[in-house]
Amino acid sequence: MLPNRNRSAVLCAGLTLAFAAAVPVAFAAALDYRIELVGVQPAGPGLTDVTVRLIGVRDGKPVADAVIFQTRVDMGPDGMPTMAGKVTPAMSDQPGQYRFRAETAMAGGWALTLSAKVQGEQETVRGVVTFKATK
Interacting residues toward Cu ion by CB under 5 A: 75, 80, 83, 106
Least Å distance, CB 54 to Cu ion, is: 27
Task: Between 30 and 83, name the residue whose CB sits nearer to Cu ion.
Answer: 83
User: What CA–CA distance (Å, rounded) separates 51 from 1?
Assistant: 62
Q: Backbone dihedral region of 15: left (phi > 0), alpha (psi from -120 to 50 degrees) or beta?
A: alpha
Q: Which is nearer to Cu ion, 125 or 133 (CB)?
A: 133
Cβ distance to Cu ion smaller for residue 90 or 105: 105
How near is the Cβ of 122 to Cu ion at its closest, in Å? 36
Q: What is the dihedral of CA 125, 20, 60, 112, to 10 degrees?
A: 20
DSSP H or E run through 28: helix 4-31
Q: How far is the CB of 80 from Cu ion (least distance, A)?
A: 4
Cα→Cα distances 6→3, 15, 20, 105, Å: 6, 14, 21, 67
Nearer to Cu ion, 73 or 118 (CB): 73
* Nearest distance from C-beta of residue 46 to Cu ion, angstroms: 11
Q: Which whole-number Å values give the CA distances from 49 to 31, 53, 86, in the listed order?
A: 26, 14, 12
Minimum CB distance to Cu ion smaller for 35 or for 75? 75
101, β-bridge pairs: 49, 88
In the complex, least distance from residue 74 CB atom to Cu ion, rounded to whole angstroms:
9
